[in-house]
């Protein structure tokens, strides 16, 4: 019966995983990790309580807490209840603050200036006439007259998007335009592996203040190369190993990661630009972007910028690091030498022996396209492609970008944008400086909306320490508050554990006494029967 039940459960899990679609986001992975951690903490606490009781019965004086042992059962129960209420209230407060922040970030209803279809510049989709270019549109009326005279960089906003993601994309466009682009009027490029619908083009172009360009991805950039065994790739995807991993069973996700690693910068439309800013559906910006980040990169000589860094799931890139090391070793340069001014310490804690999984979260990246169009990068991604990890595992473009750019770029060529408040799934940032948040009309809460400084999965603090990012006075104060909060939570948890342990010890003692009483009663009865 147990075996049949387990088989049924496995079958049900597989069926549920097949029903999941590609729009499932990274939140699933974070929630799964959180759930596993909570379960692990529970088992650890139960083990600690058992050890505590065992030491008590072995008369280990260090285990006794006189303040607790002198309490009555009712007093212990009351203290446990108070602790539970406090923990519940703290959790509820955090959720409320995050909810308020998210609601306030949505802004007003979607607005924009209508575009007359007759003024649309159409590029016919034929093999002889730019098959990659679907439409190019430009506003008849500029939203903000200041962008007419503003000297823009040769840069574009860039989005890889499906027709089905239209309304998620509209929310993002509304925020990017109102928070940034209506002051600067940069172009926006949309790419898709299938033609964009009329609805997608009409609604998105209606909201964008700059020139909008819609491109098609060439078939050879979104398909299997000859050296990949498609049957093997399918067998890997559909194996039980990948059923519980985010995008683990997705074929299109693997094509997307390969495209973002190898081809997006080669698209004919993208080749016309010097810089790009990658923007995806379902992201939020909680503050006005006060300065032009493209101009900042140009003036400061920065090649790559990000807002959030985190740790990758190891089982999705099991052989990526070893494969990467083989490539870099072939270049006859020690990228982990202390004489090399790079960020190798950001991605490895043991001088290159292993990968610590830290990566720049590439759903937001602002960069120079020159870092892709070079022999070292081209050689790297082609080497990875031949290894098959895009399809036989689930290599993402984020760790790939992070590994190579942390090695081949200088420290001062990679920048953490701490003044851009960005949110995607559970990852969120919020500037700490009060005056900046006021000027930038921020809707985020600097205390609760700073996953990058609070989460153990975040690598931002590591980058700040290694990469030499500027630390505002508020940073040190904020980190001190986080440490104090953690100490208080640990103290409360320890008190809770001791109270539960004392309760368990008393219950065990009561059961032992009752068992002893029953044993004595049986002996007395046996003695009485013998006397008779």
| DSSP one-letter string for 301-345 | T--EEES-EEEPPGGGSTTHHHHHHHHHHTTT--TTSTTS-S-HH
| List of E strands, 48-186 | 121-122, 133-137, 155-160
Q: Are 285 and 421 in contact (CB under 8 A)?
A: yes
Distance CA 194, CA 213 (A): 15
Q: Which of 354, 309, 348 minimizes the C-alpha distance to 463? A: 309
Distance CA 378, CA 76 (A): 65
Let me know how long the chain is. 532
Q: Which of 513, 507, 510 minimizes the C-alpha distance to 76? A: 507
Q: Are 415 and 305 in contact (CB under 8 A)?
A: yes
3-state secondary structure of 161: coil
Element (H, E) at 174: helix 166-179
Distance CA 191, CA 270 (A): 10
Distance CA 101, CA 103 (A): 6
3-state secondary structure of 109: coil
Distance of CA 91 to CAs 94, 97, 448, Å? 5, 10, 11
Tokens 């190798």, residue? Answer: 344
DSSP-derived letter for residue 65 is -
Q: Which of 346, 350, 357, 377 minimizes the C-alpha distance to 317? A: 357
Rounded to an integer, what is the distance from CA 87 to the centroid of its chain?
26
Q: At what angle do helices 198-205 and 166-179 cross, to 10 degrees?
A: 20
Neighbouring C-beta atoms of residue 347, cutoff 10 Å:
28
Q: Starting at the edge strand that comes first in sequence, how are the strands of the sheet with 427-428 ordered?
A: 283-285, 422-424, 427-428
- Dihedral sign computed on CA atoms, order 185, 124, 130, 214: positive
- Residues that are catalytic: 365
Three-class secondary structure assignment of 370-437: HHCCCHHHHHHHHHHHHHCHHHHCCCCHHHHHHHHHHHHCCHHHEEECCCCCEEECCEECCCCCHHHH
- Dihedral sign computed on CA atoms, order 323, 329, 334, 340: negative
- Dihedral sign computed on CA atoms, order 251, 255, 260, 264: negative
Q: Are 423 and 72 in contact (CB under 8 A)?
A: no
């Amino acid at each position: 019966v147990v075996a049949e039940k387990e088989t049924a459960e496995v079958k049900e899990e597989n069926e549920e995983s097949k029903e999941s679609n590609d729009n499932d986001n990274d939140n699933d992975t974070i929630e799964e990790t959180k759930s596993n951690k909570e379960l692990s903490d529970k088992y650890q606490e139960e083990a600690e309580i058992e050890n505590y009781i065992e030491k008590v019965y072995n008369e280990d004086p260090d285990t006794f807490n006189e303040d607790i042992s002198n309490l009555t059962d009712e007093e212990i129960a009351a203290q446990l209840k108070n602790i539970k209420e406090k923990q519940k209230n703290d959790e509820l407060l955090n959720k409320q603050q995050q909810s308020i922040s998210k609601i306030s970030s949505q802004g007003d209803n979607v607005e924009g200036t209508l575009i007359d279809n007759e003024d649309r510049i159409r590029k016919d989709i034929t093999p002889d006439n730019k098959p990659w270019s679907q439409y190019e549109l430009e506003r008849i009326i500029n939203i903000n007259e200041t962008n007419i005279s503003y000297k823009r960089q040769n840069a574009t906003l860039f989005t890889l998007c499906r027709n089905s993601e239209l309304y998620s994309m509209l929310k993002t466009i509304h925020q990017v335009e109102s928070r940034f682009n209506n002051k600067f009027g940069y172009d926006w490029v949309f790419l898709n592996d299938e033609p964009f619908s009329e609805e997608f083009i009409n609604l998105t172009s209606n909201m964008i203040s700059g020139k909008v360009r819609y491109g098609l991805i060439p078939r050879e950039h979104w398909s299997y190369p000859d050296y990949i065994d498609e049957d093997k790739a399918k067998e890997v995807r559909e194996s039980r190993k990948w059923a519980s991993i985010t995008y683990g069973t997705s074929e299109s996700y693997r094509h997307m990661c390969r495209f973002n690693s190898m081809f997006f910068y080669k698209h004919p439309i993208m080749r016309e630009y010097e810089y790009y800013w990658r923007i995806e559906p379902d992201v939020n910006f909680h503050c006005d972007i006060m300065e032009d980040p493209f101009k900042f990169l140009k003036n400061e000589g920065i090649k790559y910028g990000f807002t959030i860094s985190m740790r990758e799931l190891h089982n999705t890139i099991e052989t990526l690091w070893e494969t990467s090391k083989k490539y870099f070793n072939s270049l006859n340069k020690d990228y982990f030498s202390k004489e090399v001014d790079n960020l190798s310490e950001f991605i490895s804690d043991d001088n290159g022996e292993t990968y610590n999984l830290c990566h720049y979260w590439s759903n937001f990246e602002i960069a120079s396209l020159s870092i892709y169009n070079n022999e070292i990068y081209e050689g790297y991604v082609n080497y990875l492609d031949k290894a098959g990890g895009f399809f036989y595992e689930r290599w993402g473009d984020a760790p790939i970008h992070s590994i190579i750019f942390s090695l081949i770029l200088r420290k001062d060529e990679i920048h953490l944008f701490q003044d851009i408040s960005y949110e995607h799934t559970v990852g969120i940032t919020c500037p700490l400086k009060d005056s900046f948040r006021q000027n930038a009309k921020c809707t985020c809460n600097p205390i609760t909306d700073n996953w990058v400084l609070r989460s153990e999965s975040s690598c931002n603090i590591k980058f700040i320490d290694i990469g030499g990012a500027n630390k505002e006075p508020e940073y040190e104060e904020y980190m001190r508050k986080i440490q104090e909060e953690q100490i208080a939570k640990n103290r409360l948890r320890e008190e809770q554990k001791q109270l539960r342990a004392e309760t368990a010890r008393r219950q065990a003692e009561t059961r032992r006494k009752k068992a002893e009483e029953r044993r004595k009663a049986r002996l007395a009865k046996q003695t009485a029967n013998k006397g008779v």
